[in-house]
Amino acid sequence: MSKTITIDGKTIPFEEGQTIMDAASAAGVYIPHLCHHPDYSPHGSCKLCNVSVNGRICSSCTFPAMDGQTVLSDTHELNEDRRRITQMLFVEGNHLCPGCEKSGNCQLQAVGYHLNMLDNHFPHFYASREMDASHPDVLIDHNRCIFCTLCVRASQQADGKDVFAISGRGINKHLIVNSQSGLLKDTDFEATDNAAHICPTGAILAKRQGFRVPIGRRTYDHKEIDQVSLAESGYRPNTTLIAETEQSQYDE
């Protein structure tokens, strides 16, 4: 008999070695997250995927699934915490969706919508952060970095390079580039690197591509992040018909 956990009362099977996040995604249960990506080792830093496991709060992306766990995720309290965390991310950097080319394709924005975040709640920091436009093909806008380390991991684990790192602690935490000058142009970074396409916000962007995808055809224009995220994790629900109908409206 296979091992199972329950998430919000739903019984979910898992395989040995899977995290709660892995098991949930495979079963079509979305747990909000920003620093997690199924292709890379978990980091457990954004704390958006915090769930209650037998009454203890843990990061579901790092916590192993174990037989008989009672997991709570979609609760008022946990979603409230997630919304507060997301609001803090928004006020710490400069996430100005109206002028941002990532708008509509941005996970931070989509998570905000998913969590019904209607304002920033906290006072804005108005951080003053530099931009690194030195690389011919890729732009780093530090204003939009949420320190998820996905670019760090993608560069190391998928590209076999070591272009990015996180430096500083606490409120002084920031993304750095591993080159003598500190500039992206002085690394072996290329626009085709996985790390160039992994950023969940608009901090790392291919140059001169902004706004090419029209409104209506962007990732989150007609799908919420839970659908998109589960599809990316390999989950295939029996609702392809709906997706196709949706698509055909915009193909015309």
- Chain positions contacting another protein, by CB under 8 A: 98-99, 101, 131, 133-134, 139, 207-217, 252
Least distance from another protein to the Cβ atom of residue 185, Å: 9
Which is closer to another protein, CB of 3 or CB of 185? 185
- Complete edge-to-edge strand list for the sheet that includes strand 4-7: 10-13, 4-7, 70-72, 50-53, 56-59
Beta-carbon contacts of 170 under 8 Å, excluding residues fewer than 6 positions away, are none
Structure tokens at 176: 């750095």
Q: Is 197 or 218 the residue whose CB approaches another protein more closely?
A: 218
CB 3, min distance to another protein, A: 47
CA 136 to CA 133: how far, in whole Å? Answer: 8
Q: Which is nearer to another protein, 169 or 211 (CB)?
A: 211
Least spacing, CB of residue 137 vs another protein, in Å: 10
Q: Looking at beta carbons only, is 47 or 222 nearer to another protein? A: 222
DSSP H or E segment with residue 131: strand 131-132
The candidate with the shortest Cα–Cα distance to 189, out of 174, 178, 202, 173, is 178
Task: Retrieve residue 20's tokens.
Answer: 């709660």
At its nearest, how many Å lie between another protein and the CB of residue 119? 19
